[in-house]
A and B are shown apart, each in its own frame.
Chain A
Amino acid sequence: MSQIAGHLEPYLVLAGMLFAIGSFGFLARRNAISMLMSIELMLNAVNLAALALGAFIPSLAGQGAAFALLIIAVAAAEATVGLAIVIAIFRNRKTPLVDEYDTMRQ
């Protein structure tokens, strides 16, 4: 029998650590595309938590996977629009670094 992979908590801890790493990347990186990649990490952490809960709690069977599929669809839409916005801004400002996007502040 397994002592780690058969319990719920290790999966949730892994998801929490992945979410924390993604939030750090979103807050700290300068490149807009790096920030989008950090958002993808956070969405995947949520997916992992939903799937773990759906797999280990019998009354949630199937719902975790349904949530994960919906989150994947929303993430695809978010990546499309986000990268299009980054490319549109890059065409005007010639830089992907978010701390140089200060036109609206002036």
Chain B
Amino acid sequence: MGKKIDEDQVRKVAKLARLELCEQEVEDFAGQLSAIIGYVEKMNELDTEDVEPLAHCLPVSNVLREDIAGESLGTEAALANAPQWDGDFFKVPKILDGGGGA
């Protein structure tokens, strides 16, 4: 039986998830995810044609509050955990001029 998720698909999903995987992980995940998805497909035994999807269990929706500004974290606290920063900004490698591409 072929794998439900092959190694190319694993690489594609890893790219979407922004996870760099080594070749061993690609191989392992292809097998493991195939087994899990194979199990998950058990859901197809059920006819859910007329069933509404349930995203949330609570009888509450559109929770609003008064539009009044509260206190926010100051710049210093917001930057305190940043791996790199510069003045009032988070610092990342250059994005324009050939920086990786989306």
Same complex for A and B? Answer no
B residues at A contact (CB < 8 Å): none
